[in-house]
Structure 1
Amino acid sequence: METAKKVVAQAAKAKFELTPPAYAVWFAYYRGEHPKLSAEVDRILASGVAFSKEIHERLYNQFLAPREERAVMDQVQKQTQALLAGVMEDLGAAHKDAHQFGGKLAGYVAEIKQAAGLEDLRRIMRHMLHDTAEMMAASKQLEAKLAEASRQTRELRQRLQVTAEAALRDALTGLHNREAFDKKIAELHQEFVRDRQYYSAIFVDIDFFKRFNDTYGHAVGDLVLQSVGAILKAGVKGSDFPARYGGEEFVVLLPATVLENAKIVAEQLRVKIAVKRPQDPESGEVFERVTASFGVAQVRPGDTPAAVLARADKALYLAKESGRNTVKTELDLPA
C-alpha cells in the first residue's frame, strides 16, 4: 500500500499520466526490484527530462515486459513438468497392472489344464472375466488420463504461443512493436544479401502530434495513434509489415517491393490517413483531421538495415520541411 501511495504521489509531483506502463515502472522503482531499471530512472531524474508517456513505455518494454514473459514461461514450464510427472506415474502404474494381469492369465491357463470338471472351469472363467473387466476399467482410466494430459498440453502450447505473439505486439495499436520490426528487417536483409530480394521501408510520422496531444489530452492522442495504426494495418497486404517504431512514428516494411511501388503504397496510406477523422468510440465525438508525413527508401547493394532506415528517415524529415502531409523518397534527397 505504501508503495502504491509513493507512485501516485510521484505522478502528481512530476505531472505525468499514470498509465499502466508508468505505474509498473514506478512501482518496481520504489520496490527496488530491478536495479537496472532504478539506475535508468535515476539517470533520467538527474537529467531533468520530463517523464513522458513514450519514456514510460520504453522503460516498461526494456526492463519489465521481458520479466513478465519469463514469469509466464516459468509457470508453464512448472505446469508441464508436473503434467509429465503425472503421465509417467500413470504409465508406470499401467505397466505394473499389465504385468500382473499377464501373470494372472498365465496362472489361469495352468488351472484350466488341471481343471477337474465343469464347475472348476466355470470358477476359473468367472475369475478371468472379473480380472479382465478390472484391467479394461484401468485401461479406460489411463486412456482418459492421457486424453486429459493431451488437452492440458494443447492449452499450455496455446498459452505459450499467445505470450510469444503478445511480446512482439504494441499494446496500444496492436501493430508489431520495435523488437518485432528489428527481427523482420534483419530477415529481409538476409534474403536480400542471399537472393537479391529487394525490400523498401516507409517511415510514417503523425504531423503536429504534440500539439494535438496538448490540445485534446493523452486519451485522444492514444485514439489518434490507434486510428493511424488501424489504417496502416488495413492499408497493406500479404507479407507487408506495419509496426509502431516509437511515439507517434510508425514504419512499414515492404518485402519484394522496389522504391517506385513503395512510393505508391505510401501515397495511398497518406490519403487514407488524411481523409479519416478520429472518432471517440464511446462519446461519438469527431476530432480534427490528422495528417502524416512519409519517407521512403529501398535497399541497395552494400547496404545495412541501418543505412536503409537512415535514408528513409532523411526523406521523412524532408517531407516535414516541405510542408508535411506529403511523401518523399530517397531520390528527393539532395545529392
Structure 2
Amino acid sequence: MRALGYANAAFDLLKRSAIPPYPQFYELLYTYATGVNPSLNNRINAIFRSGISPSSDLAEALYNEFLKSDMNDRMSSVSERMHARIESVHEAIDAAMTTANAYSGSLQSAAGDLERDLGGPAMKALATRLLTETRRMQDTNRELERKLEASRDDITALQRDLDDVRRESMLDPLTKIANRKSFDEGLADAIAEARRDGTPLCLMLVDIDHFKSFNDTYGHQTGDQVLRLVAMTLKSNIKGKDLAARYGGEEFVAVLPSTDLKGAIIVAENIRKAIQAKELLKRSTNEKLGRITASFGVASFKPTDNATALIERADQCLYAAKHAGRNRVVSEAELIEIAEVSDKDVSAA
C-alpha cells in the first residue's frame, strides 16, 4: 500500500512537471516521494520554491548528482581491463602461431636440404639457421607463457572486482544491509523454495515510529544513525537464511524462510524490545535523545500467494500496528480476529 502510494506520487510529479517517464526520472521522483534521501528532497523542494520550471535536463542533472551509482563506471572499468587482457593474450597467441608456422616452414626446408648431399660448410650453416629459429620459437613461447600467467592473475583480480561490485550493488549504502533489489530477489527465491518444499515462510515489515518528527528535530545525520541502529538490530536478531533489508525510507523488511507465524511473531517481539531498549545519544554532544520504537507487521506465506500479495498482507498488519498505537507487533492472525469480531458486531446490530 505504502509503496503504491509512493509510485502514484512519483507518476503524478512526472505528469505535472511534464518530464518524460523514463526509468531514471521515475526512480528520482520515487526516491523523493519516499524521503529516503534528505539531500535530494531539500534540493527538489528548493527548486519548487524558486519557481524554476522542471525539465528533462534538470531531472537528468539531479539523477546524476544524487542517484547515479558508480557501479556502471566500475563495471565499465572491469570490462575495459578484461578486454585489454584478452587482446594481449590474442596478440601473444597470434605471434606464437606466426612463429610456429615459420618454424615449421624452416623444418620442412631443412628436411629438403638434408636429402641432398651437403658439404661441411652448408651443414654448419643449416644447423646455425635451425638453432636460431629454435631459439626464436622458444622466446615466443616464453612470452606467450608470461602473458598467459599475467592474464590468469589479472582475471582472478577482475573476478574479485566483479564480485565486490555485485555485492555492493545489493547493499543499501547507508545501512549496509540488503537493498530493495536484493530483497526482491531474496523474497522471490524464498517463495519458490516454500512452494516447492512445502516449508513455512513469513514476511516482517518494520517501520520506525515518528521518524519524520525525530529527523526534523535532531537533524538528518542523527536520523541516519537511527536508521543504521535499527538496521543492525534487525540483522543481529535474525539468522541462517533469513534476509534483512531496507525497504524504503524508515521502513525495513525481513524475509524469514522455514519460520511459521508463531515463530515470526517471537522474532518480531524480540527485535521490537531490542530497539526500544537502546537509548540514543547525540555523538557530538552526548545529549540524551531518548528512545525510539518501531511497529511491526507479520504475514505468513500461502500457496496461492505471489510476492505482491504477501507484502500487501504484511503492510496491512503494519498499518494496523500503527493505528493501534505503534510500538507493537500485529500479525495477520490478529487481523483475522479483528475482522471476525467486527462481523459479529455488525450481525448483532
Distance 1:206 1:39, change over 3 A: closer
1:201-249 CA distance string (max 9 Å, x none) = 1111112212221221110000110111112122211110100011111
Aligned equivalent of 1:85: 87
Q: Structure 1 residue 116 and structure 2 residue 119: aligned? A: yes
Show the 5 A alignment for 1:120-159: 124-159=126-161
Q: State the Cα RMSD in Å.
A: 3.6
Aligned equivalent of 2:230: 228
CA contact (8 A) 1:223 1:278 kept: no
Aligned equivalent of 1:237: 239
Q: Which amino acid aligns with 1:216?
A: Y
Aligned equivalent of 2:37: 53
Aligned equivalent of 2:180: 178
SS at match of 2:256: strand
CA contact (8 A) 1:202 1:294 kept: yes
From 209, 219, 227, the counterpart of 1:207:
209
Q: Is the deviation greater in 32-41 or in 293-302?
A: 32-41
Show the 5 A alignment for 1:313-332: 313-332=315-334
Rounded Cα–Cα distance in structure 2 between residues aligned with 1:275 and 1:284:
18
Rounded Cα–Cα distance in structure 2 between residues aligned with 1:210 and 1:230:
20
1:269-328 CA distance string (max 9 Å, x none) = 122222233456677666422222221110123223222222222222333334432222
CA contact (8 A) 2:211 2:250 kept: yes
Aligned equivalent of 2:107: 105
For normalisation by structure 1, the TM-score amounts to 0.75
Q: Which amino acid aligns with 2:106?
A: K
Show the 5 A alignment for 1:296-335: 296-333=298-335, 334-335=338-339
1:101-156 CA distance string (max 9 Å, x none) = 22223444555564534x76665544444432332222111111122223333333
Distance 1:273 1:157, change over 3 A: same
Rounded Cα–Cα distance in structure 2 between residues aligned with 1:322 and 1:215:
24
For normalisation by structure 2, the TM-score amounts to 0.72
SS at match of 1:288: strand
CA contact (8 A) 1:242 1:253 kept: yes
Unmatched tracts of structure 1, length 5 or more: 1-31
Rounded Cα–Cα distance in structure 1 between residues aligned with 2:153 and 2:36:
45
Rounded Cα–Cα distance in structure 2 between residues aligned with 1:190 and 1:322:
33
Rounded Cα–Cα distance in structure 2 between residues aligned with 1:93 and 1:143:
12
Shift of 1:262: 0.8
CA contact (8 A) 1:201 1:308 kept: yes
CA contact (8 A) 1:173 1:226 kept: yes
Aligned equivalent of 2:218: 216
Count how many residue pairs are aligned between Structure 1 and Structure 2: 298
Rounded Cα–Cα distance in structure 2 between residues aligned with 1:158 and 1:33:
38
Rounded Cα–Cα distance in structure 2 between residues aligned with 1:309 and 1:34:
26
SS at match of 2:291: coil
SS at match of 1:295: strand
Rounded Cα–Cα distance in structure 2 between residues aligned with 1:179 and 1:170:
9
Rounded Cα–Cα distance in structure 2 between residues aligned with 1:284 and 1:129:
81
Distance 1:63 1:163, change over 3 A: farther
Distance 1:158 1:280, change over 3 A: farther
CA contact (8 A) 2:297 2:316 kept: yes
